[in-house]
Every structure is written in C-alpha cells, then in structure tokens.
Structure 1
Amino acid sequence: MTPIAESPADRLVLEAVRVAFAALPASARVAVAFSGGVDSSVLLDAAVRVAGSSRCIAFHVHHGLSPNADAWLAHCEAFAREREVEFVVRYVDVSRDAGVSVEAAARDARYRALDALCAAHRIGWLWLAQHADDQAETVLLQLLRGAGLAGLAAMAPEFSPAGAAAARVRPLLHLLRAQIERYASARELRWIDDESNADTRYARNALRHQVTPALAVHFPGFRDALARTASHAASAQRLLDELARIDLDAVSRDDGSALSHDALIALDDDRALNLMRYWMRSQGFIAASSARLGDALRQLREVGEGGDGHRLRVDHAGHALRSYRGLVYWEAGDSSDPADETSLAAREISELVWQGQATWRLPQWRGTFVFEAVDALAVNAANATNAINAALNDTIPMSLLQQAPLRARSRNGGERMRTSDAPGARSRTLKNLFQERGIPAWKRDVPLLFLGDELLFVPLLGVNHAASHADVAPDEARVRIVWREDLLIA
C-alpha cells in the first residue's frame, strides 16, 4: 500500500486506527457505524487510508426522526462512494411509547439494526466512533443516575455483547473531540450536524453544552480523571463478575437457566444480588434497578427453604421471576398471568367444527392448537418399540375429531384424565398430574380441549386415553395435537 502522507493533525487518529487494525486478522473486514457526523466521518476516512476500502463497509441506520434524515442518507452514501466503500442502509422504527425516552429507544433500535447488518454481511467487528469526551459524559450521566460499577465502567474499548454477531470496537475512545475535529478540518471533510445535538432537553446534550465547559475551566483534566474512574470501575466489575461466576457454578441448575433457591438465599445480600445481576445479564435481560432486585431477594427470603413460592412474582422486561420446587427461574409472561392455581380466570368457551384445519388460534389463552397429520404406520411402529415418550406420541384418529365440535374450556377443578391406554391404567385429577410432572402452578392455566362434552386433550399432559376410540381402524389417518404458547419477547 502507498505510504500515507500524514500531517501533525492526522497522526493521532491514524495511529489509533492502525493499532485497531493490527489486532485483527490480516484479511478481516470491519464495519463502521456511519451516521455522517464528524466522529464517524473521521473514523471511516482514516480506516480507508490505513487499510484500504476493500476492508471497510459503512452501515447507516435511518431512524426517520429528523426531517433531514433522507438528506443525511444521501450525504453518507456519497461520502462512502467517494472512498469506494460499500455502503448499506437499514431503516428502523423508533418506539414512541409513553415512559420510554426517544433517545434511549433510538439507541436501542440503532444497535439492533447494526447487529443485524453485521450478521447479514458476516462482519465480526463493528467500529464505533465514540471518543474521550463521550466517555466523560457517560461517566457523569451514570454518576448522576446513581449507577453501580457496571454503569460507571461506561464504554469499553472493545466489547462482545451476548448473542451479537460482531464485537463492538471503539478505536478513538482515548482521543479528545478536539483532536478528531482537527483531523476533519485538516482533511477538509464534510459532515452532518444533527440539529438534535443542540437540544438541551436531552441529558447528554445538557452536560455537553452547559456542564462540561464549566468543568474544563475549573478542572482542565476532568476527562482523563473520568476515564480513570471508568477504568477502575471496569476492573472492579470484572472481579465482581468473577465472583458471580464462581457462585453461579455452585448455585445454577438446568445449565444456568435456573438457580437453587436454598443455595441462593444462603448467600448474604450483597453476594446474592451480585449473582442475580450477573445471572440476568447471562440470560440476556436488561439490567434491573436496585429496588427491583432488592424486592426480588426479599420475596425469595420470605418464601423460605424449599422455594415453593406459588405467589412469588417479580415482573421485569416481559418476564416474571418464579420459585417452584426449589428452583428460581424466569418465565416469559405478562402481568395478566395468574400467580397461583387458585386464581385461574374463567374464559369464554371457544368452539370449532374441525374439518382438517392445521391451526386453531385462541387469543384469550395467548396460544394456538396445532393439528399435525401423522403417518399411522410410523406411529404404531414407534409405540411398539416404545422408543419415544408416549406423551409426545399420543395421536388421535381424524375421524374422531369430526364426530363432534371441539370446545376449548377453562379448568373448573376436579377434571380427570387417563394418560395411558395400558391395561389397568386409572384416571387421575389434572391437579395431581400437573404436580407429578413438576409443572408450576402458574403454567397450569391452559385450555382444556373437549370433543363435545368429553375431555380429549390437555396441554402439557397430552391425550386423555379415557376418551372413546370405538370403531377406529388401527391404520386410519391420525393427528397429533400440539399446544403452542405465544412467544413474549422482552
């Protein structure tokens, strides 16, 4: 590659980019999150100068929040084209829900879009253009919010989010905004000025325009001091995470998806809360407030040993913390889910005349019955060898489903079924069967499927073998019934 002609204003930026490229495999491509502002414009320009356009791709996220968004897109595309860099845009919708700041919603949407673009283009490194001034502002914001160590650690130079396709790298994090702007001026770059950056209703903008200029006068080295604070906090957080990993190894059950209730509450409060924070991050949850976590631990201690806390419920990010049969775990759900079997809500009966439909949607239960056609001979062979669990292989003759209307009804209590067609098998109450299989009480609020007035199928338990199967040929076409709950995503 032809040596780069460097000016004194260039040198710091170019050296930072060289160091970042040196840490990657020789042929690796990087994606630059390219908004068109001065910071990302400098990062993209310097990356092309150091490694060439073939090793760079520019990702632009179009939020649609500004009337100038289309003009920004055109500018960014032209900027990338001038440098022969591949340019990709992703359009996103930003949540305007009450109680959610537009700034936070836009940031979340942007990172989701950038992660998706990295996955689609098989990019392993996403470069972000944050710098030392951004880091100082982040530390100040976290301090003012009363954040813990994880918050004070602010932005890491490199970070690999759980489940993300690419590591997030910040090559310019140690440089000042003024140093980046000097590079832009020396290179005569053109960039976008987002009008929202001047709106001091946003907390970060208020700090940038009203607080940090005063700090710079009285504490000229405040950026370096806050960067050290972030570094110290990150180091301390790593130690806390290591302790949490040790505790998680001792306390976790079911490959980390659940915790032992008794082992958790045996820890002191600080250690238990540290473990819960780490566990939630490992499950991909957003951070919970200290008040929310403290309330969860208090309820877990009130349940006592054994952990059968049917009424325990702590809602967070579309999930609910539960304790059952000695295990603590998160269940997808919303606040309408019953916390206890005794509080099951009666729902209106739904009816279907089955004529071969593949699905039957039941919104009141937030789920769907699925009717899957099954090869009768294959089922008979599987049952003969007992190779597959009978609860999963129970099937129903198609003709039986057409003998009477299907009805989906709520549990009333006292219903019975026979889960086996073996000689001598007896019918038992649904409550006993649920308990025997370890199904938590709050998951027992399921629609019972009746054929006319006869119980035919119960989600999580299977087919009622006491239902009449008279006059059914063994090789008749059959159906397997599956109950699928809606997926509630945090």
Structure 2
Amino acid sequence: MLESVRNEIESKRLLLPGETIVVGVSGGNDSTALLHILATLNENYHYGWTLHAVHLNHGFRGEEARQDALYAKSLCEKLGVTFHLFEYDVPAYMEQTGMGGQEASREIRYRLYREVGTAQGATKLALAHHADDQVETILFRFVRGTRLQGLSGMPARRPLEDSNIELIRPLLHKTRQELEAYCLENELEPREDSSNQSRKYKRNLLRMDVMPLLASVNDRYREHILEAAEAFARDEAFLLQLALDQLKGVTTNTKPDEIVIDKDKFQTCDVALQRRMITLILSYLSKQTEWSSQHVETVLHMLGGSRPSAELHLPKQLVVSRMYGRILFRRTGREDRIHTYCYELAVPGVTRIDESKATVHTAYLEGPLDLERLPANEAVFDADHLPGALYLRNRKPGDRVTLFGQADGKKLKDLLIDAKFPRVWRDKLPLLTAGDEVILVPGVRRSAVAPVTGQTRRFLHVRVEFGEDWREVFS
C-alpha cells in the first residue's frame, strides 16, 4: 500500500517535499488510512511535510460525533500531526440558508479547509476519496444527469476555490476494501458513521443496493467504469482545448472581472464548443473550476433567446447580459440574493432542476385524472391551449399568477405570503411557466391557464417531485 501510494504521489507530483498539507479527517476508515499513510511516508522517506488534520463535528449525531472527534484527536497525537477540531451547528445553518444537510456540511467543511490552510500557509488539501467513491460519483452523476466532464469523475487534483491551495486525492487508485485491509494490518480502529447505513441518502442507495447488483452482472464493473472515465477525461481535455482556441476568436474584450464576446461569432460555433466556452468564461471570472451543466444550459438558453437584450444572475457574483450583438460576462462584486435559472422542460419526459433539488415529470394522458384529488404539486392542463413552451424557473420581480375567478391575477409574492410559504425557500421554488405566464406554483396553487374542459383533447400531466431538503416546507 505505502509503495503504491508513494508511486502515485511522485509520478503525478501530487505532493512535493517540504509542503504544508491540510488533511480532511473524519475518523472513518478512509481518512484514517490516508492520514496514517501520509504520516508514515513522511517519516520513512523524510519528505519534510507539515501535516494539519481538520475535523468537523457537524452537530448531527450527538455522542457518536463526539467520540469520532476524540478518536481523530487521539490518532493525530500518536502520529505527531497537528489537530484542528471544529464544532458547527449545521442544522441551524440549514434552516438559515435553506440548504440540504449534505450541501451545507460540504460548504462548511471546505470553508474550514481554506481557513486552516490559509492560516498555516498550506499549499495542498488532501482528501481520502478512493476508487469506489469515484465509481459511485460517476454513477450518481449519470443517473442525475451530466455531460462528458461529469462522467470523467473526480480529478486527482484541482484548484481549491477562493484560495491558493490545490486539492489532491492520492487514493483514487485504491479500493475501499484495500483501505480497510490497511487499517486492519496497522491495528487502526477507525470509527463507523452510522449515517452511512441510512438509505434515505441516495448515494448510500447506490453503494448498498445498486453497486452489488452491477457486480452480479460483471464483477469487473468498477474497473470498466474507471477505464471509461479515464477515456472521457482525455476526450474532454481535447474538446476543452478546441473550445479555448475558438474562444480566442470570439472574444472582443477581456478584463479580470469582465469578458465580452461577439454573439454572432459565438453562435457559429458547434454547440459542444459553446458549452465549453461558457464553462471556461465562468471558471475564469469566478475562480471556480466546476460549474453544473444546468448553469451552463441556462446561459446557453438565454444567449439563444429571441429578445434583443436579456440578463441572467448566477452564483459567485456573476451576471451574464445579452445586448444586441454582444454578450457580457461580469463579476459584480456582490452576491445576488436570487440566482436566476430557466430550463425548458422535456415534454413528455423528466427534467432535473439542481438549484431547486426538484424533478419534474411530464406526460400526455389519454383522459383526465380526478382533478379534485390531485395534490398541490401536480396539475393537468389542456395541452392545446398552453400559451407557449414549458419552462421551469425561479421567481422574478413582478411575477403574477392568473387565478380562477380573478381577472387581474395575484402577485406571486402575496400568494406565497398567504400560503405561509417560508421566506428562505421562495427563491428556490421552481415555477412552471408557459410563454410569459406562471401556470403552476408547485405545492401552492395551479393557475387558471389552459384549464381542462369538456372540449379538451390532449391532457398534459405535470408532477413536481421535491427532494428530501423540502420535507420541512411541505410537511
């Protein structure tokens, strides 16, 4: 194990002698193995590394989490590694921000990694993701919806956002079973997080139920998926270089916080390169390497719109504006409260909305459902009387909803207030629109647009499924 990881580190130059390294340590099997391996290599081969372990008690599991922290601290004392313990009320942060548990936990962990790394002058952050994590990530992205970059898996190295630190993953070539054997061989007694056995988390479902089924089809499925991911990564790198070359030809102005491109030249490029050019621009302005395909698709949709001008607000303080023949990407210096998105629905089909943690199912029916019994997250429309194509977006100032029996409609803001809809969730709520009309506020109200009547011939059924994060909103 030690020689294999050492070869991986040296062949890819993941770590250099004398570096200061932050190591994420949960106390579980994988991070325990990683910390022990790095400390042992440092002692055996005199790399001169300075190791700092960061452990976060998320405030979810009470005494179990406190015991995890004690174990991680004890391990660091034995290995002579500086230990940084943090305790954070993640449930309160979730309530404050409207984030889900995993999203909020990740944001806080990475914030702490950056803080410790910056304070200690670290150049690297080492995390314990391994080959099984890689396969799980690729499968998860595949079933949730992704493109070639997502199917390439997690990179062995990438810049850590908002820092001068590089994130590395020295164990991507090792399996979970190999790391468990290493811990056993070295008489380590890592902690087991009980939440890893909960099927309420979708990734656990993949690991516990789906991956064993894949093994019954072909016990080398991991190897084949990882080989495919490596090929995807090479193809993606080639296409990204083509996109970079094309981007130089369509860019008219470049500043640290602003890029302007020629709209007509941009639209002559193949859409595969357009997507990658958008990603390159967003990454340059935000210093964030990973952008979801849905953010990119939102920008692409806006750029191809028929209106002469339009504006789109994205995370990381980015705004994209279309002004006649120009497309302006800029960083505003402030985080906008509303990150706008707008996705065209697959009809019939399934559309996943990452920003809202929601999935929309649409289907044509042969006849009407019992409309009186439909839950508030479903609706049936007269497909031939919809005023335009169907899109899902979040709210905009001035939105109104046409209600049955009200000619002038009602302000969306007032509708949500009357429904006692939590303020922190309002910007994430996906609205179904047709043309310029809001036709469904899922979980709240259907509009009076395209009602089903005795003359209806085509029935369109829409169902919005909300993720676990929304449970408290609709309970």
- Shorter-chain TM range is 0.5 to 0.7
Question: What whole-Å deviation, never above 9, does each CA across 1:69-109 have from its counterpart, x for those lacking one?
Answer: 22222221111001221112234453425864311221232
Change (3 A) 1:221 1:47: same
- Matched residue of 2:19: which SS? coil
- Kindly state the Cα deviation for residue 221 of structure 1 after the two structures are TM-superposed: 0.7
Change (3 A) 1:300 1:159: closer
Hey, what's the Cα distance between the residues in 2 that align with 1:344 and 1:221?
A: 53
2:22 and 2:124 in contact (8 A); partners too: yes
Hey, what's the Cα distance between the residues in 1 that align with 2:339 and 2:276?
A: 29
Residue identity in the other structure for 1:211: V
Residue identity in the other structure for 2:314: H
Match of 1:88 among 75, 84, 90: 84
Matches within 5 A, 1:137-286: 137-252=136-251, 253-255=253-255, 257-262=258-263, 263-284=265-286
Hey, what's the Cα distance between the residues in 2 that align with 1:289 and 1:176?
A: 27
1:63 and 1:106 in contact (8 A); partners too: yes
Match of 1:296 among 299, 302, 308: 299
Matches within 5 A, 1:292-331: 293-302=296-305, 309=309, 312-317=310-315, 319-324=318-323, 326-330=326-330, 331=332
2:22 and 2:113 in contact (8 A); partners too: no
Change (3 A) 1:175 1:321: same
Change (3 A) 1:18 1:299: closer
2:17 and 2:49 in contact (8 A); partners too: no
2:131 and 2:172 in contact (8 A); partners too: yes
CA RMSD of aligned residues (A): 2.9
Aligned: 1:63 with 2:58 = yes
- Kindly state the Cα deviation for residue 54 of structure 1 after the two structures are TM-superposed: 6.0
1:259 and 1:328 in contact (8 A); partners too: yes
- Kindly state the Cα deviation for residue 217 of structure 1 after the two structures are TM-superposed: 2.6
- Matched residue of 2:282: which SS? helix
Hey, what's the Cα distance between the residues in 2 that align with 1:288 and 1:28?
A: 29
1:315 and 1:321 in contact (8 A); partners too: yes
- Kindly state the Cα deviation for residue 173 of structure 1 after the two structures are TM-superposed: 1.0
TM-score w.r.t. the length of structure 1 is 0.60
Hey, what's the Cα distance between the residues in 2 that align with 1:148 and 1:216?
A: 24
Q: Any unmatched runs of 5+ in structure 1? A: 1-11, 338-342, 346-490
Aligned to 1:26: 17
Aligned: 1:106 with 2:105 = yes
Aligned to 1:121: 120
Residue identity in the other structure for 1:271: L
Hey, what's the Cα distance between the residues in 1 that align with 2:20 and 2:32?
A: 18
Higher mean alpha-carbon deviation, 135-144 vs 267-276, is at 267-276
Aligned to 1:44: 35
- Kindly state the Cα deviation for residue 344 of structure 1 after the two structures are TM-superposed: 11
* Structure number, greater radius of gyration: 1
- Kindly state the Cα deviation for residue 145 of structure 1 after the two structures are TM-superposed: 1.3
- Kindly state the Cα deviation for residue 36 of structure 1 after the two structures are TM-superposed: 0.6
Question: What whole-Å deviation, never above 9, does each CA across 1:351-387 have from its counterpart, x for those lacking one?
Answer: xxxxxxxxxxxxxxxxxxxxxxxxxxxxxxxxxxxxx
Aligned to 1:348: none
Residue identity in the other structure for 1:96: M
Residue identity in the other structure for 1:69: A
Matched pairs, number: 324
Q: Any unmatched runs of 5+ in structure 2? A: 341-395, 399-475
Change (3 A) 1:87 1:288: closer
Hey, what's the Cα distance between the residues in 1 that align with 2:247 and 2:279?
A: 11
Question: What whole-Å deviation, never above 9, does each CA across 1:30-85 have from its counterpart, x for those lacking one?
Answer: 32211111111111112222212963221222322221322222221111001221
- Matched residue of 2:94: which SS? coil
Hey, what's the Cα distance between the residues in 1 that align with 2:201 and 2:174?
A: 24
- Kindly state the Cα deviation for residue 275 of structure 1 after the two structures are TM-superposed: 1.0
TM-score w.r.t. the length of structure 2 is 0.62
Residue identity in the other structure for 1:74: L
Change (3 A) 1:336 1:183: closer
Aligned to 2:347: none
Question: What whole-Å deviation, never above 9, does each CA across 1:187-231 have from its counterpart, x for those lacking one?
Answer: 111111111111111111111111112222321111111111221
- Matched residue of 2:304: which SS? helix
